[in-house]
Amino acid sequence: MARKGLVPPLGKEGKLKPLLLQGAELKAEQEKAKTLKKVPMTSRETSDLIMLGIGAFTPLDGFMTYDDWKGVCDKYLMADGQFWPIPITLSADKALADSIGANEEVALVDPSNKDEIMGTMKVTEKYTIDKEHECKCVFWTNDVEGHPGVANVMAQKEINLAGPVKVLSESFYPTQFGEIYQRPAEARKMFEDKGWQRVAALQLRNPMHRSHEFLAKIAVEVSDGLYIHQLVGKLKPGDIPADVRVKAIDVLVENYFVKDTVIQGGYPAEMRYAGPREALLHATFRQNYGCSHLIVGRDHAGVGDYYGPFDAQKIFDEIPEDALQLRPLKIDWTFHCFKCGGMASLKTCPHGKEDRLLLSGTMVRKTLSEGGELPAEFSRPEVVKVLQAYYGGLEEKVEIKLHGAATGDVKK
């Protein structure tokens, strides 16, 4: 029997669990927070707290305990048996951690934004972790020099703090990104208002080139609508900022998609570049947003050559069958084939590498950052114009290195 309505949020209750306070409750907690011991957060921890606040990390109620951390690393399972693919943790230096008593409430602050109090937490547990074990499980590598996600974990403070949180702020996201910034409840309402039930999400941290467009249109063909859901949190140097991506995607959707088949949205998480594990995280919170499917193409959420081009697809076959109701849309390596006369994939094109133009966001960034021209088959002219204006205005250039997934020098 076909499901009616959107997929339910993750968890036994099947309801969103936003932890962001409002009204009188928010004001009272803000006043109390001023009297509490302050715990500074990294940008990743801050963005995770906001994801908890808006309900994107339903059914989590705070930062993970040791048993949660260990279970998620080793088996994708929290202590209560709930599926979760990546640890959501908070760290503090030893001196600060030692000063916090059992079940003491603390204020969580963002040092990058004038120590804004972002939330409060009741500290129920303090523990140490094997950082290398987390990196090996989550990132499949311990390369602290080359992998930005590994570097972030290894730079964490000595002690992890666990406990339920109350979230007091969404930082600059609502004002800076306006309607693009969406909470899960808002996205669900938009889908319901359009009568959508089968919704495919396209994860983005780059502007859309022709390969992204091809994937997106495949998804539109087999669903009620497409949710172009891009990250507006912190990226690594050389990645294109969110406001530029929004402009580039706007001109693409306006000129090349059927009206009312696409919604563009943004979420406040920070990239971990965890490849397959991050694909599972993207699927997990997309289910909370109301999406029934996630497009998983080549090298999803990857960096460098740490993952095979389709490892992020294979990992969905390794988790428990009932872990997620959202399903991956697994799409093969796509490219422009000159003999076929258009976009194709390894499943549909019989021709050789010499006939193909491989497309990647890394190649787009490298070419345009160096003042080069992109072939018409690579990106729509309206998109290129937006990106050229951005790169032309940069005072400081960042060197962008190509890797196997960008050049095609990898085996399937």
Number of domains in the chain: 2
Q: CATH number of the domain that 151 lies in?
A: 3.10.400.10
Do residues 46 and 107 share a domain? yes
**Cβ 213 vs Cβ 335: under 8 Å:** no
Q: CATH number of the domain that 353 lies in?
A: 3.40.50.620
Do residues 219 and 356 share a domain? yes
Do residues 201 and 166 share a domain? no
Domain boundary among 146, 171, 196: 171
Position 213 scores a pLDDT of 95
Position 298 scores a pLDDT of 87
Residue 342 forms part of a structural domain? yes
Do residues 156 and 239 share a domain? no
Question: Mean per-residue pLDDT for 145-157?
Answer: 97
Q: The pTM is what?
A: 0.92
Sheet arrangement for strand 199-204: 262-267, 225-231, 199-204, 293-296, 327-330
Do residues 139 and 186 share a domain? no
Question: Mean per-residue pLDDT for 366-384?
Answer: 87
Q: What is the distance of C-alpha 217 from the center of its chain?
A: 21
Position 84 scores a pLDDT of 98
Residue 287 forms part of a structural domain? yes
Domain boundary among 140, 171, 202: 171
Residue 27 forms part of a structural domain? yes
Residue 8 forms part of a structural domain? no
pLDDT at position 158 over 90? yes
Which phi and psi angles does 345 have, rounded to 5°?
Answer: -135, 175
Position 1 scores a pLDDT of 45
Banded model confidence at residue 411, pLDDT cuts 50, 70, 90 = very low
Position 2 scores a pLDDT of 57
Higher pLDDT pick, 376 / 260: 260
pLDDT tens digits along 392-410 = 888 766 555 554 544 444 4
**Cβ 196 vs Cβ 289: under 8 Å:** no
- Assess whether 206 carries a catalytic annotation: yes
Residue 11 forms part of a structural domain? no
Do residues 154 and 292 share a domain? no
Do residues 158 and 200 share a domain? no
- H-helix or E-strand containing 49? helix 43-54
- Say which of 152, 160, 188, 206 is annotated catalytic: 206
Share above pLDDT 70 across residues of the chain, in percent, rounded to a whole number: 95
- Scanning the structure block, which residue is given the tokens 């339920």? 164
**Cβ 7 vs Cβ 77: under 8 Å:** no
Do residues 140 and 233 share a domain? no
- Say which of 44, 183, 188, 205 is annotated catalytic: 205
Position 236 scores a pLDDT of 67
At what angle are helices 66-75 and 131-138 packed, to 10 degrees?
A: 40
pLDDT tens digits along 94-148 = 999 999 999 999 999 999 999 999 999 999 999 999 999 999 999 999 999 999 9
Do residues 140 and 193 share a domain? no
Query: Domain range for residue 145?
Result: 23-171
Domain boundary among 145, 171, 197: 171
Banded model confidence at residue 169, pLDDT cuts 50, 70, 90 = very high
Residue 18 forms part of a structural domain? no
Do residues 193 and 336 share a domain? yes
Do residues 144 and 226 share a domain? no
Do residues 245 and 127 share a domain? no
- Assess whether 356 carries a catalytic annotation: no
**Cβ 363 vs Cβ 377: under 8 Å:** no
Residue 155 forms part of a structural domain? yes
Higher pLDDT pick, 315 / 408: 315
